[in-house]
Structure 1
Amino acid sequence: MNSLELKYGCNPNQKPAKVFMQKGELPFSVLNGHPGYINLLDAFNSWQLVRELKAATGLPAAASFKHVSPAGAAIGLPLSDLLKKMYFVEGLDITPLAAAYIRARGADRMSSYGDFAALSDECDAATASYLAREVSDGIIAPAYSKEALAILKKKRKGNYLILQIDSSYIAPEFETKEVFGVTFEQKRNNLQIDSTLLKNIPTDNKFLPQDAQRDLIIALITLKYTQSNSVCYTENGQAIGIGAGQQSRVHCTRLAGNKADTWHLRQHPKVLNLPFKKDIRRPDRDNAIDVYISDEYMDLLGNDNWQYSFTKKPTILTKDEKTEWLHHISGVSLGSDAFFPFGDNIERAHKSGVNYIAQSGGSIRDDNVIATCNKYNITMAMTGIRLFHH
């Protein structure tokens, strides 16, 4: 099959819509459901991301995509007891692939609501069982076990979108797209991202441990498939904050840093022990956690909205408590898809515990950025590559 009719384009009024190949067969098959235009954009971008993460790290990888950018991406490192509690997966059967998706989904659960999931390896029953609990639009993987496929086909009243990608497919060297009747063509961004890009370290601190190198590679590969401008914070094999599609780089750094801070604050004992009602829906629970962590919680207490989520009124996580908790965070890595034009990005990154940075370099103010890193003893590699994605 070399063409496929879609439900509609980006919006329901954009009909008809289809995907097709100029030459050869489509490199994927639809095992269940009916894809839309954005579904497939998410699917193909996310598949490339997890395929490259697997190639770079040797571990199963997963991504959670929304509107053609990742909400999270991760590799299948084991989950600590703390992360199991934070991700609400205590007592579940967790394979390395399931751990990768749980991590990817857990980076920013609010943004992952209604996501498109991507897996680097055959979807197993453990991963499918976890995904069956979550609000998700579809999945792409190179294969599915019999048990996993049966589980997923029951999701969304039997309409869950399940795509199987041909893992041997290699895209043409050049890619085209049409905008306003004008066709654009460019060489595909097939740049390989690995530790060789981290050799140029102009900062005083040149210490870059293996775990940090791995996390910086994860950040850079994630950014390769994130709408620009973009910045990604990573820790322990997963993205913990992604800022995508901002016009200003410092706004990317702030957005992603705020998400990383929320991820860390979700590990605070007061958050881990919130008295949720037993019948609360997962999305409502996730929203309540974000509100509790934010400054909006004072309003929630004042109008008694807490009764919708909790069995009793939780004690406030004060501003001083949040500051103290975040003050002890360290070991975070940060990647940027292009150069930092000012040291303000480093100042913001430092507030979220960043010790390691990878960015392209090439700004006329590189000296200011390097000096700001030296101020905080941050190790920064200049990769010499730009990863804009549009």
Structure 2
Amino acid sequence: MRELELKYGCNPNQKPARIYMDEGELPITVLNGKPGYINFMDALNSWQLVKALKKATGLPAAASFKHVSPAGAALGTPLTEVEKQIYFADGFDTSPIACAYIKARGADRLCSYGDWAALSDVCDEATARFLAMEVSDGIIAPGYTDEALAILKTKKKGNYNVVQIDPNYEPAPIETRHIYGITFQQGYNNFEINESLLDNIVTENKELPEAARHDLLLALLTLKYTQSNSVCYVKNGQTIGVGAGQQSRIHCTRLAGSKADNWMLRQHPKVLGLQFVDNIRRPNRDNAIDVYISDEYEDVLAEGVWQETFKVKPEPLTREEKKAWIAQMHGVSVGSDAFFPFGDNVERARKSGVEYIAQPGGSIRDDNVIETCNKYGIVMAFTGMRLFHH
């Protein structure tokens, strides 16, 4: 099949809409549902990310995409008991690819609401059973077991979007797009991200453990397929904060850092001890946790809204408790798709436990950024490669 007609483009008024190949067959097959224009944009961007992650690390990889940027991405390493709790994966069988998706979605469960899922490996029953519980628009993978496909076909009243992609497909070396009737052309970004990018360590501290190298590769690859400007925080083989599409670098760093802080706060004993009403929907539980760890919760308590969500009135998580808990964060890695222009980005990243940084370098103030890293013993590598994605 060379062409697939779509209901409409980005918005309902944008008709006609289609995806097609100038030469050859489409490398995708729709196994269920009717994916739309934005669905396919998410599918193809997310597939490139997980395919590259698998190639770079040798581990199964998954991503959770929303609006052409990852809400989360992760490698298929085992879940800890705390991760099973905060990702609501207790009681699920977990294969490596299932662990990858559970962590990718768990990185930022609010942003992953209604996501597009991408898997580097064949979707198995364990992954499908977890995905069946979540609000999601669709999935792309190189294949599906019979059991997994049967489960996914029951989702969204039988309308869940399931796309299979040929894992051997390679895009043309030149890509084109049209904006306002004008054609743009550029070479496909086939730049390979691997550990050699981390060799140029410019700080006094040059100790970069293997786990941190994997995390930095994950950060850089995530940035390669994230709307720029972007900054990504990673820990233990999963993104914990992605700041995408911001106009200034410091706002990227703050946004991603605040998401990383929320990820940490979700592990606080008070959060793990919350008692929810019976049969609460998963999205409602996610929203309640987000409000609970925010500065707005005491206002909600005053309004008495807590009865709709909790069995007993939760004790507030004070600002002092939050600050003390976040201060325990350590071993976090950060990647930036372009250079840090000022040391303020390092200052903000440090507050969220960042100990390792990878960024292109090349700012006229590189010396200030390096000096700031040295002040805190942070390891920083200059990759020499910008990773803008638009």
Q: Which residue of 1 aligns with 2:32?
A: 32
Task: Work out the CA distance in 1 between the residues paired with 2:49 and 2:7.
Answer: 25
SS in 2 for 1:228: coil
Say if 2:293 is the partner of 1:293: yes
Task: Work out the CA distance in 2 between the residues paired with 1:305 and 1:174.
Answer: 55
Say if 2:314 is the partner of 1:314: yes
1:38-117 aligned at under 5 Å gives the runs 38-117=38-117
SS in 1 for 2:311: coil
Alpha-carbon offset, residue 311 of structure 1:
0.7
Alpha-carbon offset, residue 89 of structure 1:
1.1
SS in 1 for 2:212: helix
Task: Work out the CA distance in 2 between the residues paired with 1:277 and 1:89.
Answer: 18
Q: Deviations along 1:356-390, whole A, 9 cap, x unmatched?
A: 00000000000000011011110000000000000
Say if 2:249 is the partner of 1:249: yes
Write the letter of the residue equivalent to 2:97. L
Say if 2:177 is the partner of 1:177: yes
Q: Deviations along 1:118-151, whole A, 9 cap, x unmatched?
A: 0000000000000000000000000000000000
Say if 2:225 is the partner of 1:225: yes
Structure 1 runs (4+) deviating above 4 angstroms are: none
SS in 2 for 1:242: strand
Q: Deviations along 1:169-211, whole A, 9 cap, x unmatched?
A: 0001111100000000001110110110001111111110000
Task: Work out the CA distance in 1 between the residues paired with 2:158 and 2:91.
Answer: 27
Unaligned 5+ segments in structure 2 are none
Write the letter of the residue equivalent to 2:284. D
Q: CA RMSD in A?
A: 0.5
Alpha-carbon offset, residue 239 of structure 1:
0.3
Task: Work out the CA distance in 1 between the residues paired with 2:189 and 2:278.
Answer: 48
Alpha-carbon offset, residue 85 of structure 1:
1.1
Q: Which residue of 1 aligns with 2:373?
A: 373
Task: Work out the CA distance in 1 between the residues paired with 2:216 and 2:112.
Answer: 22
SS in 2 for 1:348: helix
SS in 2 for 1:201: coil
Write the letter of the residue equivalent to 1:78. P
SS in 2 for 1:306: helix
Q: Deviations along 1:231-262, whole A, 9 cap, x unmatched?
A: 00000000000000000010000000000000
Alpha-carbon offset, residue 92 of structure 1:
1.0
SS in 1 for 2:270: helix
Task: Work out the CA distance in 2 between the residues paired with 1:141 and 1:272.
Answer: 33
Number of positions where the alignment pairs a residue of Structure 1 with one of Structure 2 = 390
Alpha-carbon offset, residue 278 of structure 1:
1.5
SS in 2 for 1:207: coil
Q: Which residue of 2 aligns with 1:275?
A: 275
SS in 2 for 1:251: helix
Alpha-carbon offset, residue 308 of structure 1:
1.2
Unaligned 5+ segments in structure 1 are none
Q: Which residue of 2 aligns with 1:189?
A: 189
1:15-26 aligned at under 5 Å gives the runs 15-26=15-26
Task: Work out the CA distance in 1 between the residues paired with 2:258 and 2:330.
Answer: 15
Alpha-carbon offset, residue 88 of structure 1:
1.2
Q: Which residue of 2 aligns with 1:156?
A: 156
Write the letter of the residue equivalent to 2:141. A
Alpha-carbon offset, residue 86 of structure 1:
1.2
SS in 1 for 2:358: strand
